[in-house]
Amino acid sequence: MNLNQHTALYGVIGDPVGHSRSPALHNAAFLSTGLNAVYLAFEGKEIEGCIRGIKALGIKGVSVTIPFKTAVIPYLDEIDPLARRIGAVNTIVNNKGRLKGYNTDALGAAKALEERTKLRGMTCLIIGAGGAAKAIGFMLKEKGVTVSIVNRTRKRGETLARSLGCPFVPLVDVEGEKGDILVQTTPVGMYPHINQCPVPEHILEQGMVVMDIVYVPAETRLLKSSRNRGCATISGVGMFIHQGAEQFRLWTGMDPPVEVMNKAVKEALSEQDERN
């Protein structure tokens, strides 16, 4: 990269950010499109200071990750209607000091699913009721999917189910549930706990479409079992790439180089696999 006094600065804010593959994804995209821009990881301890830093330093675009996706909202000048409905922002565009928040997690998940299955008229079990489940739940409802929320903690699960207008199922009772699609949104199965599976494996029936949004490892225990039981599987890498691609579009107004982004993330993930 040829960095100079005109280089535009982008980055991710969150805590922790040391594991983030967003720098690999976005720097590969900037390089391949010839943009004079760089993307860094900023570990931020409190959101107000991060926002002041973005404005003061003229950082052009920011990804927002745990724990700031909801906390950032009151500090923004404008919120895109989808992000407002979801109640979480994962992308900030800085337009001459005016910060606008978006949610590309929802679009990223929908695109990853739509590459493998139609959505309208399908039924879907969403495992988990956190920020990602909320984004995906809203998007799938808009796409005409009949959703059920399955969660370990009743209160959180019921709250999300109520806001989506859909049924809640306690995780311990998931055995009797059926869905054309299962979307796993908890951190269960993520490195280093790679042998954990969030649901009993016998509920994975041949023909189901199973997406795990965990992307380290790329094939989680849930996806491995699903594949062995004849389900179509979608890894979290797809959602990650598409949410990043939508960020690139918002920041630059250009079509994202999705294949380049895909290759960069897969390389970054395989380097990690080799280190483990």
Q: Least Å distance between CB 97 and ligand NAP?
A: 28
Determine whether 69 is an active site residue: yes
DSSP conformation class of 144: T
Do the Cβ atoms of 121 and 144 come closer than 8 Å? yes
What's the CA gap between 149 and 160, in Å, rounded? 8
Catalytic residue among 69, 96, 118, 178: 69
Q: What is the dihedral of CA 12, 192, 139, 85, to 10 degrees?
A: -50
User: Using CB under 6 A, which residues numbered 192 to 211 contact ligand NAP?
Assistant: 198
Output phi, psi for 264, to 5 deg: -65, -40
Q: Least Å distance between CB 31 and ligand NAP?
A: 21
Asked whether position 246 contacts ligand NAP by CB under 6 A, the answer is: no
**For ligand NAP, which residue of 240, 252, 261, 265 counts as binding (CB under 6 A)?**
240
Q: Which stretch binds ligand NAP (CB under 6 A): 3-11, 28-36, 217-225, 237-245?
A: 237-245
Q: Which stretch binds ligand NAP (CB under 6 A): 30-38, 137-145, 201-209, 239-247?
A: 239-247
Q: What is the dihedral of CA 110, 115, 118, 122, to 10 degrees?
A: -50
12 forms bridges with which residues in the sheet? 41, 63
What's the CA gap between 141 and 31, in Å, rounded? 37
Q: Return all residues near 180 (Cβ < 8 A) that are at least 6 apart.
A: 117, 122, 123, 124, 208, 209
Do the Cβ atoms of 204 and 226 come closer than 8 Å? yes
What's the CA gap between 143 and 34, in Å, rounded? 35
**Of the two residues 53 and 87, which places its CB atom closer to ligand NAP in the complex?**
87
- Give the per-residue contact string, 1-40, with ligand NAP (x = CB under 6 A; - = no): ----------------------------------------
Q: Is 272 left (phi over 0), alpha (psi -120 to 50) or beta?
A: alpha
Do the Cβ atoms of 173 and 196 come closer than 8 Å? no
Count the site residues for ligand NAP by CB under 6 A: 26
Q: Which stretch binds ligand NAP (CB under 6 A): 55-63, 145-153, 161-169, 245-253?
A: 145-153
Do the Cβ atoms of 212 and 223 come closer than 8 Å? yes
**For ligand NAP, which residue of 59, 62, 190, 245 counts as binding (CB under 6 A)?**
190
Other C-beta atoms lying within 10 Å of the C-beta of residue 111: 19
User: Using CB under 6 A, which residues numbered 61 to 100 contact ligand NAP?
Assistant: 66
Asked whether position 213 contacts ligand NAP by CB under 6 A, the answer is: yes
Asked whether position 136 contacts ligand NAP by CB under 6 A, the answer is: no
**Of the two residues 55 and 187, which places its CB atom closer to ligand NAP in the complex?**
187
Q: Least Å distance between CB 276 and ligand NAP?
A: 17
**Of the two residues 179 and 238, which places its CB atom closer to ligand NAP in the complex?**
238
Catalytic positions are 69
The residue ranges that bind ligand NAP (CB under 6 A) are: 66, 105, 108, 128-133, 151-153, 156, 185-188, 190, 198, 213-215, 236, 239-240, 243
